[in-house]
Amino acid sequence: MRLDSTRQETEGGRQKGAGGRRRRHTQDPASHNPPIRHGILALPDEASPMAARPHQFISTPDTGVSPLSPEWHVRRRFARRLRLLGIPENLTGWSVLDIGAWHGYFSFECERRGADRVLAVDRFAWDRFGMTEFLAAHQRLGSRVEYQHVDVHELDVEAIGQFDLVLLLGVFYHLRNPLAALERIARVTKRLLICETHVLLPFIHERYPLVSFFPGDERTDEQTYDFCGIPTMTALTEMLRFTGFDDVEIVYRPSFRYWKKFVALVTTRPQSGRGIVHARPGPPRRQETGGRSAENA
């Protein structure tokens, strides 16, 4: 099955502002697994098993192996994430940038919620193993979501404009240079950034602005949680404020936090869990809520 990619892939330099509609095909020379040939998008009939079942992905992300999880498990997990993230139900009139979109689940969901424009960007996974799922779902859904190979460290407001909603889901802990990336993200965020990431849960000093470092993203034998850098919730919120998000609201803290802190004590190894933050440029609109978690939701 084929799809003309010239309709879909946008080139930043040609597009000013979130509402821009000019598109041009760009083939990424750095792509290791290019799905685009001669301007035609070849869909992966025979490629990965995930391509055949585009919504059955992800069990151990970032290993490059992509084993399939049972469908019920994936559905439950993503339904829960959607519930916790707090993406506005009605996105009519909003433009959306999904950074690190990978399979595109959240890009397609924003399109389903009526967003005027959705741009999905990714780099690492799309260059290696992960674009087939996105493209298969894109075609299956008849989607108008635009996509570009862009590294978040190279996001350029001049090239892609600003977006009402920016999603940074499961990406922060991969960032080689988080502050520089957040500065770029702040420039392209018009209204709301939703950042979901692993946050660090040490036994003590959880409220101190700590960020772990593992060269995890550089290694092929990556261990669980040995991602590049995982911030404590305090580090995350302070970094967001420092880079231009004046209004930072914690909407979710890791579940089973105290159990994990106990494990950290026993194993002398900090644990981690999901944290979700809503960040807005401009002056604070409300007091920080402290977030909710499975223990106190």
Exposure b/e, 37-70, CB count within 10 A at least 16 = b: eeeebbbbeebbebbeebbbbbeebbeeebebee
Stretch of residues binding ligand SAM (CB under 6 A), selected from 33-41, 151-159, 230-238, 264-272: 151-159
CB of 169 to ligand SAM, least distance (A): 3
Binding-site size, ligand SAM (CB under 6 A)? 18
- Let me know: does 190 contact 252? Beta carbons within 8 Å: no
Q: Decide whether 81 or 261 has the Cβ nearer to ligand SAM.
A: 81
Stretch of residues binding ligand SAM (CB under 6 A), selected from 6-14, 116-124, 205-213, 254-262: 116-124
CB of 102 to ligand SAM, least distance (A): 3
Q: Which residue is nearest to ligand SAM (CB)?
A: 100
229: closest CA among 248, 216, 238, 243?
216
Query: Does position 214 bind ligand SAM by CB under 6 A?
Result: no
Stretch of residues binding ligand SAM (CB under 6 A), selected from 18-26, 111-119, 148-156, 243-251: 148-156
- Let me know: does 101 contact 130? Beta carbons within 8 Å: no
CB of 272 to ligand SAM, least distance (A): 13
Exposure b/e, 263-287, CB count within 10 A at least 16 = b: ebeeeeebbbbbbbbbbbbeeeeee
Beta strands in the chain (DSSP E): 2-4, 36-37, 40-42, 95-99, 117-122, 146-149, 163-169, 189-201, 247-252, 271-280
Interaction residues for ligand SAM, span 74-113 (CB under 6 A): 100-102, 105
Query: Does position 55 bind ligand SAM by CB under 6 A?
Result: no
- Site for ligand SAM, rule CB under 6 A: 61-62, 100-102, 105, 122-125, 130, 151-153, 169-171, 174
